[in-house]
Amino acid sequence: MGALKLLRPWVFPAVLLAALETYTRTVGASSDALAPPSAALQAFWKAAADGSLWQATGFTLGSAALGLLIGAAGGLLLGIAFGLSPRAARMSFLSVELLRPVPSVALIPLAMLVFGFGLALEVSVVAFATFWPMLVLSQAAARQVEPRLLEVAMALGLSPTARVCKIIVPAMVPRLFVALRLGVAIALVVAVTVEIAANPNGMGYAIMIAQQSLEPALMLAWLFWIGVVGVAVNALALWLQTAVARRMGVVV
């Protein structure tokens, strides 16, 4: 029973892959669109061996991380300000609500115009996309800081900076890591999307090029790899969130 339970998640994908393998080896053998999974695996090893896999993955992850860092830092600072001052939150409400729904991909052409192709293009779009959720979530986190802690800070006569650094931010940490997990997921999706739509770098570009040069095996290999990276990064973010929450003594 235990072995079955461990095996169970793998059965469905295995059946799908076997079906694809049979189809591409028989009916669709001359297809330019699909390739057998075994050929995709070969293409994957080749890309891993010649280093193109790691280089593209590094670019995508690096620019997603840098964009997230900028977006999250901006969102966090403004979010704390809005969370602590209801007046500031009220005043910015309309502007935030009007700017937030702008789809991040709409900024790709603008970023292209300003930065040209390359790292800055991707980082700026990722930063924009992660800024808004981080702003909203950290604002909520700052608002939910236990009021008694703020009273303690007042009673101790802490300066505003000390109040933010010593009381408010530490009290927000568990919630911030929940926000960060969401930010990580968004950053990766947006980074790959920017590469597919415009930026000639990274994993998204690699999969586009594989399609355009009619190498379905390589394309499927990239698709699979992008999926694996996505799952790994999300799992890491989730682990970080629960580990932090446990250390801070929060029951999740």
Partner 1 sequence: MNAPVSRLRGALESTTVLLALLALWWLASHQQWVSKVFLPTPEATLASLAQGLNLAPSDTPGELGGFTASTVQRMLLGWVLASLAGMALGALVGISAAARAWVLPTLEFIRPLPASAIMPLAISIFGLNPAMVLFVVAFGAMWPVLLATIHGFASVEARLREVAGALQMSRGAFIWKIGLPSAMPDILSGMRLSMTVSLIVAVVGEMIASQSGLGQAILLAARSFRASELFAGIVLLGAIGFLSNALLAVAEKKLLRWQNP
Which chain residues interact with partner 1 by CB under 8 A? 8-9, 11-13, 16, 32-34, 87, 90-95, 97-99, 101-110, 112-114, 185, 188-189, 192-193, 196-198, 204, 207-208, 210-211, 214, 216, 219-220, 223, 226-227, 230-231, 233-234
Q: Min. distance of Cβ 231 from partner 1 in angstroms?
A: 6
Q: Min. distance of Cβ 59 from partner 1 in angstroms?
A: 15
- Half-sphere exposure for 8 (CA within 13 Å, toward CB): 6
* Residue 221 · residue 45 · CB < 8 Å: no
- Comparing CB distances to partner 1, the nearer of 177 and 222 is 222
Whole-number Å distance between alpha carbons of 78 and 62 = 24
**CA 101 from centre of chain:** 18
Q: Min. distance of Cβ 138 from partner 1 in angstroms?
A: 19
- Comparing CB distances to partner 1, the nearer of 8 and 148 is 8
Give me 1's structure tokens: 């029973």
Q: Min. distance of Cβ 107 from partner 1 in angstroms?
A: 7
Look at residues 137, 15, 22 and name the one whose alpha carbon lies nearest to residue 80: 137
For residue 26, CA distances in Å to 15, 16, 21, 39, 168 come to: 17, 16, 9, 14, 63
Whole-number Å distance between alpha carbons of 166 and 239 = 25
8-state DSSP, 50:
S
- Comparing CB distances to partner 1, the nearer of 143 and 166 is 143
- Comparing CB distances to partner 1, the nearer of 170 and 227 is 227
8-state DSSP, 216:
H
- Comparing CB distances to partner 1, the nearer of 228 and 248 is 228
Q: Min. distance of Cβ 19 from partner 1 in angstroms?
A: 13
